[in-house]
Amino acid sequence: MHLHACYPGEAVSSPLNFHLDTYEGPLDLLLDLIRKNQIPISDIPIARITSQYLAYMEQATRLDIELGSEFVYMAATLVHIKSKMLLPTDPELQAIEPEDDPRTELVNRLQEHERYKNAAEMLQQKRLLEEAVWSNPQIRQFLTEDEVINPGLDVSLFDLVKTFQMVLERAKSRPTYGVEKEDVTVQDMIRLVRNLLAGVPKGASISVVGLFEQQGSRRAMLCLFLALLELVKRQAVVLQQSEAFGDILIQAGEKKEDVPESESELAAVEGEYS
pLDDT tens profile 12-25 = 333 333 345 667 78
Q: How far apart are CA 64 and CA 262, in angstroms?
A: 55
Whole-number Å distance between alpha carbons of 203 and 193: 15
What is the percentage of the chain residues whose pLDDT exceeds 90? 3
User: How far is it, in rounded angstroms, from Cα 83 to Cα 94?
Assistant: 18
Q: What is the pLDDT of residue 12?
A: 37
Query: Is residue 111 within 8 Å of residue 41, measured between CB atoms?
Result: yes
Q: Which residue has the higher pLDDT, 265 or 64?
A: 64
Residue 101 has pLDDT above 50, yes or no: yes
Question: Comparing 68 with 98, which gets the higher pLDDT?
Answer: 68
d(CA 261, CA 267): 10
Query: How is the chain split into domains, by residue range?
Result: 1-102, 151-273
Among 192, 196, 198, residue whose Cα is nearest residue 220:
192
Per-residue pLDDT at 113: 84
pLDDT at 70 (0 to 100): 85
Phi-psi region of 247 (alpha: psi -120 to 50; beta: other; left: phi over 0): beta
Amino acid at 147: E
Four-CA torsion 28, 12, 51, 274, nearest 10 degrees: 30
At 145 the pLDDT is 47
Largest CA distance in the chain: 72
Strand ranges inside 114-168, DSSP E = none
Cα distance between residue 228 and residue 150, in whole Å:
15
Architecture (CATH level 2) of domain 151-273: Orthogonal Bundle (1.10)
